Chains A and B, each alone.
Chain A
């Protein structure tokens, strides 16, 4: 089964910072990757799909890139509402969905 490894597992940043989160797949997955944002006590929210496509309604400061095994989520200018945990996700044949371990973005 394909495994997704996120790094770092946590980071501290300030409002206005540029933040980059990495997701590495254990084997090539083309561009089949999504990114989600989850705030405490809330359901995850889809941000990016197909590695770089922005979900409708998501601010343009979020962007995704990569293909094959290495992917990144970038927040160009961190806003107060962006402090959350971020997960990458891939759709497999089985198990159907694989998630990365998560990256918590905290206030510095």
Chain B
């Protein structure tokens, strides 16, 4: 069974840093591209970042470019999101996700979500 389990969220002050982790199991992690998506309280879904299978290609939404860094450790079956210079508008539930049976354009598997709150 495919499982994605996020951790590392919590309360942080504006300007602070936080590192989210996503532990993958039930599939060959190194064969799948991975994505982070976030959802601000009461709002819709927003794509945050993408990483290729090897980690050599990374993309970021304009809203986080230069502040967030996505990475992965295929030996540890883990995905990460390093978040620096956090702002109030980064407050959201962060989901890691990967493709499902429909192919790499769609997110068939999601983690349970991890809340990040940026507030003083």
Do A and B interact?
yes
Q: Looking at the complex, which of A20-28, A72-80, A96-104 is the stretch in contact with chain B?
A: A96-104
- Which single member of B46, B50, B110 contacts A44 (CB below 8 Å)? B110
Cβ-defined contact, B106 with A46, below 8 A: yes
Q: Which residues of B contact A38 (CB under 8 A)?
A: 45
CA–CA, A99 to B100, complex, Å? 17
CA–CA, A94 to B101, complex, Å? 23
Give the interface of A toward B (CB within 8 A). 32, 34, 36, 38, 42-46, 49-50, 53, 55-56, 87, 89, 91, 94-102
Say yes or no: is B102 at the interface (Cβ < 8 Å to chain A).
yes
B40 → A minimal CB distance (Å): 12
CA–CA, A43 to B39, complex, Å? 10
Cβ-defined contact, A96 with B59, below 8 A: yes
Most buried by A among B37, B104, B105: B105
Give the interface of B toward A (CB within 8 A). 35, 37, 44-47, 50, 59, 61-62, 95, 97, 100-108, 110-113
Most buried by B among A50, A96, A101: A96
Cβ-defined contact, A87 with B106, below 8 A: no
Cβ-defined contact, A34 with B44, below 8 A: no
Q: Which residues of A contact B95 (CB under 8 A)?
A: 43-44
Beyond contacts A43-B111, A95-B47, A102-B45: 13 other A-B pairs, Cβ-Cβ < 8 A, are A36-B45, A43-B112, A43-B113, A44-B110, A46-B108, A49-B102, A50-B102, A87-B45, A89-B45, A91-B105, A96-B35, A96-B47, A99-B46
Cβ-defined contact, B106 with A34, below 8 A: yes
Cβ-defined contact, A91 with B45, below 8 A: no
CA–CA, A34 to B37, complex, Å? 15
CA–CA, A98 to B46, complex, Å? 7
B95 nearest CB neighbor, chain A only: A43
CA–CA, A33 to B40, complex, Å? 23
CA–CA, A42 to B64, complex, Å? 24
Q: What 8 A-B pairs have minimum CB-CB distances, sorted nearest first?
A: A49-B102, A91-B105, A43-B110, A97-B47, A99-B45, A49-B106, A34-B106, A102-B44
Cβ-defined contact, A32 with B105, below 8 A: yes
- Which single member of A42, A55, A96, A99 contacts B44 (CB below 8 Å)? A99
